Amino acid sequence: MCVRNVPIFNHLTEEEMNEVFEKVESRSYEKDDHLYMAGDPKDSLFVLHRGKVRIYRLNEEGKEQLIRVLLPGDFTGELALFGGEKLHDSYAEIVQDSRVCEISKADLYGLLKEYPDIGIKIIERFSTRLNEVEQQATNIALMNSEERLIEYIRTHVDDEDFLRLKMTKKDLSSYLSMQPETLTRIFKKLEADGMIGKIDNRTYQVLDYSIL
Last residue of a domain, one of 141, 163, 182: 141
Examine the domain organization and report whether 199 and 132 are in the same domain. no
In a domain, 5, yes or no: no
Beta bridge partners of 65: 57
In a domain, 4, yes or no: no
- pLDDT tens figures, 146-171: 999 999 999 999 999 999 999 999 99
Structural domain total, the chain: 2
Give the DSSP per-residue string, 97-109.
EEEEEEEEHHHHH
Kindly give, in sequence order, each residue whose CB lies less than 8 Å from that of residue 150, ignoring residues fewer than 6 positions away. Answer: 190, 211
Q: 65: domain range?
A: 14-141
Examine the domain organization and report whether 127 and 170 are in the same domain. no
In a domain, 47, yes or no: yes
In a domain, 2, yes or no: no
What pLDDT shows up at residue 206? 98
What pLDDT shows up at residue 94? 98
Average of per-residue pLDDT values in the chain:
92
- pLDDT tens figures, 52-84: 999 999 988 888 999 999 999 899 988 767 766
Examine the domain organization and report whether 186 and 134 are in the same domain. no
Examine the domain organization and report whether 133 and 163 are in the same domain. no
Examine the domain organization and report whether 34 and 136 are in the same domain. yes
